[in-house]
Structure 1
């Protein structure tokens, strides 16, 4: 009965996560800990397993559409995987109380970022590292038209990816919102390229973290299996429904939900 409830809950989390491109992990971890009273470390491990599965399907689609900058993704993964390893190593020394506070703060940050209006600030000149490593590229826009873009502030982007990797391992999230913000804001990439490249990187980062949690024995099959299946199904349905539901209305409702959940996580941490 518990596994069935987890399955339906994860389907709802995957559905909501897909509507806003945040992934189901940001929702399913608070639900597992606050509603089902699952140990937060088991919830994080289950979330990471589901992220690997859901990211793989979407990444393949973006690669086919030539939106992912594969060379840039592989370079930035040096930062994210290093961060994920560091995050896992320090997670053993962090109390669950602090994880609740950290997750609650992250949810509040995500809610604020959803209210932020994104504008395109595409770079016109390459950073020296980008020039040497040939990190710039092109992406299709409006049919057969190809748009060229450059890459700026590569060291800053690499440092931000390290931080995103640490957060991913500690909280069981893809930390896609940090990756997109770094590529969109610091590196001045087009938002479509940022989102597609971030999605590709999420799966790799989560794989590094999930493998480490698996070796430590935090992956519980009775929790991870229904969560992964539920989020995959929910994400697929959410992606299909996204084109039919007004995005503005969903965003407004979801900001309220995220804010309420974040406050509950912070209160639990303080207790």
Structure 2
């Protein structure tokens, strides 16, 4: 395969990854890293570096339409970004000292568990939060509204402190694995904080760009950002993310969750095979 064929194939795959990342809130990184390592034979650290750059591009492309249409909870995003940014820097520093196969196995486990959680029954509505939790939600004005087919619907944010801790872990996963923390972001907001799935995916798309920016500097300093690899990834991810952002608005939540889970499981199985049997 010559450089032109390689670049073209990476661009096509990145377009698909950007589309998937926008409609699921994953940021495309969850597809880019396994794809580059398993299909194209790229070293996982360089794949993570390119993925983080693509996550920033996806976030920038998808965030604007989501915000303009009232889906993204900006106050909640700013609150959670503090946790994810700190975690991302920690994860990026750890990643440079961890073996390639270990990174692949950890990523696969994270993907499988995320896919399992996304298909579990939704927690019961009306959960009572503690007085301190309610005080924090009210103080930061984290509750919000979003458009539905029945008009504007309001929702209440639950367990902000627990969500903050989980987002710190999500940030570590972003810096360590290059997946933009999208899987953890969506699941933490949807499952723990009681946020509607579409709001969770759109808010995740907004936050993952900041999270990836925090960790990409570490990879750049250590020489793991290859412009020749990152360029076709970005050019593919951007139009894919724009297309996905437009489709998400009218998509059904149940279908989005199914797509979300199937992709996570497929990518996890491929990563396990590559790490244990194939050469990464």
**C-alpha separation between the residues in 1 aligned to 2:195 and 2:226?**
39
Matched, 1:121 2:151: no
Aligned to 1:211: 217
**C-alpha separation between the residues in 2 aligned to 1:213 and 1:28?**
16
Equivalent in 172, 177, 181 of residue 171 of structure 1: 177
Aligned to 1:26: 30
Q: Say which SS state the counterpart of residue 145 (structure 2) adopts.
A: strand
Matched, 1:186 2:226: no
Q: How far has the Cα of 1:89 moved from its partner?
A: 1.3
Q: Structure 1 residues 197, 36: closer, same or farther in 2, change over 3 A?
A: same
**C-alpha separation between the residues in 2 aligned to 1:245 and 1:65?**
15
Q: How far has the Cα of 1:67 moved from its partner?
A: 2.9
Aligned to 2:272: 266
**C-alpha separation between the residues in 2 aligned to 1:66 and 1:243?**
11
Aligned to 2:155: 149
Greater alpha carbon shift after TM alignment, 154-163 vs 190-199: 190-199
Please tell me whether the aligned partners of residues 52 and 178 of structure 2 are also in contact (alpha carbons under 8 angstroms).
yes
Please tell me whether the aligned partners of residues 164 and 178 of structure 1 are also in contact (alpha carbons under 8 angstroms).
yes
Q: How far has the Cα of 1:177 moved from its partner?
A: 2.3
> What are the superposed Cα offsets for residues 63-83 of structure 1, whole Å, 9 maximum, x if unpaired?
222332222222221111110
Please tell me whether the aligned partners of residues 26 and 173 of structure 1 are also in contact (alpha carbons under 8 angstroms).
yes
**C-alpha separation between the residues in 1 aligned to 2:178 and 2:65?**
24
TM-score by length of 1: 0.85
Aligned to 2:41: 37
Q: Structure 1 residues 8, 148: closer, same or farther in 2, change over 3 A?
A: closer
Please tell me whether the aligned partners of residues 70 and 147 of structure 2 are also in contact (alpha carbons under 8 angstroms).
no
Q: How far has the Cα of 1:155 moved from its partner?
A: 1.6
Equivalent in 5, 9, 15 of residue 5 of structure 1: 9
Q: Structure 1 residues 185, 115: closer, same or farther in 2, change over 3 A?
A: closer
Q: How far has the Cα of 1:241 moved from its partner?
A: 5.6
**C-alpha separation between the residues in 1 aligned to 2:218 and 2:158?**
33
**C-alpha separation between the residues in 2 aligned to 1:31 and 1:87?**
21
TM-score by length of 2: 0.83
Please tell me whether the aligned partners of residues 15 and 235 of structure 1 are also in contact (alpha carbons under 8 angstroms).
yes
Please tell me whether the aligned partners of residues 139 and 146 of structure 1 are also in contact (alpha carbons under 8 angstroms).
yes
**C-alpha separation between the residues in 1 aligned to 2:72 and 2:259?**
30
Unmatched segments (≥5 aa) in structure 1: none
Aligned length: 271
Aligned to 1:54: 58
Please tell me whether the aligned partners of residues 167 and 173 of structure 1 are also in contact (alpha carbons under 8 angstroms).
yes
Once superposed, what is the RMSD of the aligned Cα atoms? 3.0
> What are the superposed Cα offsets for residues 86-124 of structure 1, whole Å, 9 maximum, x if unpaired?
101111221111111011112222432453454773667
Matched, 1:105 2:109: yes
